[in-house]
Chain A
């Protein structure tokens, strides 16, 4: 059984990690016993009734209806509520059930916290918790994109053309049209050929759909790139080298800016011309182009770091605000942890 989880992780390391996660669990348990506790998700059930009306064209349309409407259909949805809203409802009517703890969402919150910590644990080295989380995300991602592809593309674009009546009755009642479209058999055939790649014979059969995908994508991208990335970018670079303001006066900074952009684009493009040796004037232009490229890469690096740090901050916010309830920037909870700690100390003394 130990083979099931041991890969490159040594047993001693495994014990260390289990110990660390136990320490975290104890700390969380202590925190859970303080004040209002930790991570809970509240919901309120919203009940809406819908009644149907038939318009002049004979089409049935559903809209929200008042209570007691004959033939109305009721739909219930659980919507998120904050801890503050729960507290307000409790103080107004103790023991009320309108706003309540959602156990499935609360379990989800704790699971999300575990996954977050497990991924962070990789910073200290590979470990079973990280590998478990990694395995989960691989399976979930593959399943997620398959489901999205099925409901977003295969059903409305393929099945709806092949069996419109069935799709209309099953899941797309608002589907326009409704006749069998034999043209849809072509992508179906190509799709089946593509899926045959999973079989030993599929390597040869799968060439045609692959050729179609590559040819179509090449054509699509050629048009869009030439239009937006060549024509539009060149047009945007055709700037006046001597610029004037709205009042007709010479605009020095705008002129310098425009000259710098034109020179920068031309010099950087010169660097990308590899069919001419980078010597003399071309070499000097390419050198200036490299400077512009370095500044571009530097700013891209800066933005990448900032983006990652913003994500990191968001994860810490999740851990400290949503899960541990350690901080309360929105004032949703009755007592902050600091206030709870003070009251605990006061009680003890």
Chain B
């Protein structure tokens, strides 16, 4: 027990980081489960982080309230952006969402209320480990239940075959839109937790490279599996710690692991021991995602 306390004292920051990254990974996995590649989660996390932080700073509201409002703001922006962009196919959706992310970044860089390039500081440090993992547990439960609901089946159907799904009376456009909005909301929760963990946020925290990190979590773990996404987030968050001795060449490990997974284990790490054939097929379908 004493060992555990000691371990936590030493690594609490990293443990928190893994939890927040896992929530980001779950947010992306929602759209991946529906078979589409939208890359604005980092931007949505940023929007929520700014909204929640500004509320904490100016009103002093508690974390639960500011996080919910932040996530709602991200979802609202997601709905406005989602209407036109979720109609785009494959790579074009990815590009449109990357473009949106860059615009959000530039706006944050130039507004005075967001503190411009310097960002916001002295954000109350209200995020704690148990809060992060409580949120993660609730989300994991939600994803687990989702599979067995009508909405869950609709999402799986759209991923497997949009046209077949449509012939069963499922509207693929609606599924894509709502998974996009839901994904924005979850990313928003992660963003707000991040802001209240780190005292300080700036536009650079929500750029393309952060988005790539989130995508990497999902791919390493298994593109269409929420469990894989969380696992991937944990592994990739730990890698830099393990390979600290490589100094400047540290990132190379990320690149090699990522390349190896895509080439040798396209269903991700979750797919390596998954006996669940449905899961395997789902991941394969996400990989060979129709355009």
A and B bound?
no
